[in-house]
Amino acid sequence: MLELIQIPYSPFCIVQRRILEYSGVKFKTVNIPNGDRLLIWKLTKQRYYEVPILKDGKEVIFETEENSQVIAKYLDQKLGLGLFPHKWEGLQDILWRYFENELEALTFRLNDVHWKEVVPENDSLRFVRHKERKFGRGCLEQWAEQQEPLLAELEKKLLPCEEMLLERDYLLEDRPRFVDFDLFGMLGNFLYSGHYKLPARHKRLALWYDRMAAVKMNKAAREKLHT
């Protein structure tokens, strides 16, 4: 059985979890504390410590660089999901970089404002230490004070996504491709705490998000991909 080793609220974990749910395959999730990556370090033979990683029997799959999509492409090939068709090569690369850099830089800060509600108490010290070593002392308090401008900036940067949905149900065409799952992960992280909603002006994006949360791949669609 496939195993996804994850931190539940991580945007990058949400991406892979939603892909697995979409596929209909049976899989297991293994949650780890943000501050304890020992399991990942062990499974990857001391080559990696980020989340998520995927375990498929004896094989362990993880990203090889900041902008790789090794796990998603592995699942796509193994499960026949059609997430990376040739006709969208290049464009998908541009889009996922935008989502994972421009959007994620805002969404994770907004989610982290409410870190005490999602981080177990026994992991609090390690979580705060990790954040402050990376972003500076008091960063979590600063982000809490900056919620309004951060939300305004997110609304602005989501406008191209709203516009992509003017004449279609998904970002590129009439079925979800990888970038749909990628954007879903970034927004899933933003919405995880339950304190936020998608910007009211982005009505199509809100409908798309609900659609993405429920969509499942069916046998007919899978067969169509291979015809």
- Asked if residue 211 belongs to a domain, the reply is yes
**What are the two backbone dihedrals, phi and then psi, of residue 27, each rounded to the nearest 5 degrees?**
-150, 165
Q: Which residues contact 128 (CB under 8 A, 6 or more apart)?
A: 140
Q: How many domains does the chain have?
A: 2
Residue 33's domain comprises 2-79
pLDDT given at position 223: 47
CATH code for position 14: 3.40.30.10
pLDDT given at position 208: 98
pLDDT given at position 219: 60
Per-residue pLDDT of 165-216, as tens digits, reads 999 999 999 999 999 999 999 999 999 999 999 999 999 999 999 999 999 9
Per-residue pLDDT of 13-45, as tens digits, reads 999 999 999 999 999 999 999 889 999 999 999
Per-residue pLDDT of 90-126, as tens digits, reads 999 999 999 999 999 999 999 999 999 999 999 999 9
- Asked if residue 226 belongs to a domain, the reply is no
pTM of the model: 0.95
CATH code for position 92: 1.20.1050.10
**What tokens were used for 201?**
């002006």
Residues 210 and 111 in one domain: yes
